[in-house]
Amino acid sequence: MKAPVPVANYSELGEVILGPRGKAVVDVCIVSSQIGFAIAYLIFIGSQMDQVICFETMYEECGFKSFYISLAAFILIPICWLKSFKKLSYVSMASNVFLVVALIIIIGYCIKNHEEHPELSENLNYLNIGAMPLFFGVAVFDFEGNGVVINLHASMKEPEKFNMVLMRTLTLYVTMLCVFSSIAYWSYGSNLEDMVTLNLPHDNLTSMIQIFYCFGLVGSYPMQLMPVFEIYEKTKTYRKIPTSKSF
């Protein structure tokens, strides 16, 4: 179903279809989900940096995850205040390349671990009903970009090509998720950690992988909060705040 008027985000779509109440519900859902994703990003960055620094300092500087989370937030907050993310597009592209490189290297480690410990893949659990809620929770997190889909559509030079691009992107993305997750579980079995990077051996290459991941999240972090800022900037509270020239 097409909206009777062009919409630029989910909030406007909710208002067009369900009225002001629908818009309010959509706003609450988007703000809650996107802030949750942003917090998860910070926790991941803090955990990875703590592990890297701990290893590189010969386990002398460990247990500072909270500090690294605060430092990442201190760096990212001013970036999220930028009025335009056009200049960050290059950083985002570079971060995606780093993530792909990191995934390829991790797959290499998984295959190597399977060759050294083939017994770990003997008794794999292919279906665990009790873990289904956790599965869907993680699956939702894997698609945290849903909140900016309409925003991206509205900003495209050729929006008529959006459906084709979205379909191809989702097909590739889901395929990569399934293949990567299967290889990781096949390699480590029940020993697989919540973050597969924690299963990797500690060396300079794995430290580089973790830094790549952190950089990749930093590059995409502002995009996750863009819908939240758009919603907040349309509130009466925001309009009452004295503002200076945009930077």
pLDDT, tens only, 102-150: 888 889 999 999 999 999 888 888 888 888 888 887 787 778 777 778 8
Q: For 13-32, what is the mean pLDDT? A: 88
Domain that holds residue 108: 10-239
- Would you say residue 143 lies in a domain? yes
In-domain check, residue 64: yes
DSSP string, 5-25: S--SSHHHHHHHHHHHHHHHH
Q: How many domains does the chain have?
A: 1
Q: Please, which residues have CB within 8 angstroms of residue 163's CB and are 6 or more apart in sequence? A: none
Burial 172-189 (b: 16+ CB within 10 A, else e): eeeeeeeebeebbbbbbb
Task: Indicate the average pLDDT of the chain.
Answer: 83
More confident call, 168 vs 211: 168
Residue 134 within a domain: yes
Report yes or no on 2 lying in a domain: no
Confidence bin at 220 (pLDDT 50/70/90): confident
Instruction: Look up residue 176 and give its DSSP letter.
Output: H
Task: Say if residue 233's pLDDT is above 90.
Answer: no
Is pTM, for the whole model, over 0.85?
A: no
Which pLDDT score is estimated for 86?
67
Whole-angstrom Cα distance, residue 224 to residue 226? 6
Closest CA to 182 of 120, 98, 110, 104: 110
Residue 218 falls within a domain, yes or no? yes
Residue 62 resides in a domain:
yes
What six digits make up the tokens of 207? 């430290």
247 CB burial (10 A radius; 0-12, 13-18, 19+) = exposed
Q: What is the mean pLDDT of residues 17-35?
A: 88
Q: Per-residue pLDDT for 38 more than 70?
A: yes
Residue 3 lies in a domain: no
Return the structure tokens found at 169: 């992107």
Residue 147 domain-assigned? yes
Quote the DSSP letter at residue 128: -
Q: How far apart are CA 8 and CA 79, in angstroms?
A: 22
